Structure 1
Amino acid sequence: MNALLFTDLSVFVLSLLLGFEVIGRVPTTLHTPLMSAANAVHGIVLAGALLIALTADGVLGYALVFVTAAFAAMNVVGGYVVTDRMLEMFRPRKDTR
């Protein structure tokens, strides 16, 4: 394993651990606004994953790019779903009679 791949893998693992620790400490009442506000950040992560895909070489590099892009895409979609559900609470209800 070369030094550059080891550095990239270390940054990837540390960012996963840091992200889990930060999100785990957010109070429950702030999760919905946090998800809706984080869509832009996850979009940047997705764009970064696609840029890293240009420099990936080897099976491990391609696997890491795929996993990163998949998680970023899930976060973007999940953020918009949460935002839509949150905005649905403020729309007037239709009369069901």
Structure 2
Amino acid sequence: MTAIYLLFILMLAIFVGFELIRKVPATLHTPLMSGANAISGITVLGAISIAGKGYEEWATWLGAAAVLLATINVVGGYMVTDRMLAMFKKR
């Protein structure tokens, strides 16, 4: 029964996220991405807490994968943001 609720929440989040992003003007996509990457930093902290606990082996591997992917997302996002801000600096 809880799996159905979780699946419903996942589908609702996908739909709402898609609708929100679709309505954002193209000029705001990069700042929105920067904010999403900052939130991904919070994901890193949550994933570290899961990966370090004594859960089952699959949960530890899943937490480690989440740490890796969220870290790549954060670093890449900050690199893109830095390049975007460099375009506005005077030479």
TM-score (norm. length: structure 2): 0.67
- Report the aligned-residue RMSD: 3.1
The alpha-carbon deviation at position 38 of structure 1 amounts to 2.7
Unaligned runs of 5+ in 2: none
Higher mean displacement: 76-85 or 52-61: 52-61
1:89 aligns with 2:87: yes
- Identity rate, percent: 45
Aligned residue pairs total 84
Structure having the larger proportion of residues in helix: 2
Q: Partner of 1:30 in structure 2?
A: 28
Q: Partner of 2:51 in structure 1?
A: 53
CA–CA separation in structure 2 for the residues paired with 1:89 and 1:24: 29
TM-score (norm. length: structure 1): 0.64
- 1:28-60, Cα deviation, whole Å (9 max, x unpaired): 432200122233311111011111123243331
Q: Partner of 1:3 in structure 2?
A: none
Larger Rg: 1
Unaligned runs of 5+ in 1: 1-5
